[in-house]
Amino acid sequence: MTTKTKVEGKANEEQHKILTRTLPSILDEMEENIRLAAEAARRAEQAARASKEAAGEATKASEEARHAAEKAAQEATKQAREALAEAARKAHEAAEEAESVAKEIAAEAVSKAQEAAAEMKELALELALVIRNAHIHGSDSFVKEIDAFRDKWSK
C-alpha cells in the first residue's frame, strides 16, 4: 500500500467515523479541540511576550556590560598612563641625582688629586733642597737633613 493510499484510507475511516457519531458528540469534540487550541495559542502568546521581555532585558544587560567594560578599559588606560608618567619622572629624578653625585665625587677626586700633586711638588722641592744643601755642606750634614726630611714626610 502506498503512502497516498494510506492517507486516503485514513480519510475514509474518519469520514465513516463521523457519520456514525452523533452531532452533539462531534460538536463537543470540536469545542474541546477549539478550547485546547485557544489555550495553546494563549500559552504561545505568553511565551512570546516573556521571550520578548527576556530579549529586551538581555539587550539592556549587554549594553550595560559594554558600558562597564569601556569605562574599565578607559580607567585602566588612564592609570597605566599615570603610572608610566610617574615612573618616567622618578627615573629622571634618579638620573639627575646620579649625575649630581657623580659630579660631587669627580670634583672631590680632582681636589684630592690636586692636593696630592701640590704635596708631591712640595716634597720634590724640599728633597731637592736637602740634596743641594747636603752636597754643599758635606756628608754629615746630609745624613741629618735626610733624617729630618724622612721624619717630616713619614707621618
State pLDDT tens for residues 57-110: 999 999 999 999 899 999 999 999 999 999 999 988 998 998 999 889 888 998
Q: How far apart are CA 100 and CA 64, in angstroms?
A: 53
Name the residue among 71, 46, 34, 110 with its Cα closest to residue 54. Answer: 46
Q: Do 134 and 141 contact (CB within 8 A), yes or no? A: yes
pLDDT at residue 24 is higher than 80: yes
CA–chain centroid gap for 51, Å, is: 40
Question: Does residue 1 surpass a pLDDT of 60?
Answer: no
Between CA 155 and CA 118 the distance in angstroms is: 17
DSSP 22: -
Q: Is the pTM of this model over 0.75?
A: no
Average pLDDT, rounded, for the chain: 83
Residue 34: the pLDDT is: 95
